[in-house]
Amino acid sequence: MEKRNIIQLSEFDVTQKIIESLSNVCTRAVLFSVKNEAKDATQIADELQISLSTVYKTVSNLEDLALIDVEKFVISSEGKKIKHYRSRIGKVEITFNETEPVLHLYPNNNS
């Protein structure tokens, strides 16, 4: 089964996916970690004391949802390209109307 990209999802699907993602404590921790400064996956893993694979899975999901960006690339001494991630959002509000949740995302002004 082919995975749908973010453009192919309805607005409600996107809202639901973001809300589900933000309900995960690890996802929120990663977002908070990269809100004020860009960090690479190793820095995030060390700071949060979580596995590197969990960080990569989380940032991949956050990139798919357009909640974080790669702010810059750094080339390591071994010649590897290292991504530095930065939160695109600074504040989230979730409210409920009569039939569905309403999501408000505010830009990260710490850029």
Q: Are 85 and 43 in contact (CB under 8 A)?
A: no
Q: How confident is residue 27, by pLDDT bands cut at 50, 70 and 90?
A: very high
Domain ranges of the chain: 10-107
Question: Using one digit for the tens of pLDDT, what is the confidence trace for 30-44?
Answer: 999 999 999 999 999
pTM over 0.85: no
Alpha-carbon torsion 50, 55, 83, 28, what sign? negative
CATH topology assigned to domain 10-107: Arc Repressor Mutant, subunit A (1.10.10)
Q: Are 84 and 73 in contact (CB under 8 A)?
A: yes
Kind of pairing between the strands at 68-75 and 89-96: unpaired
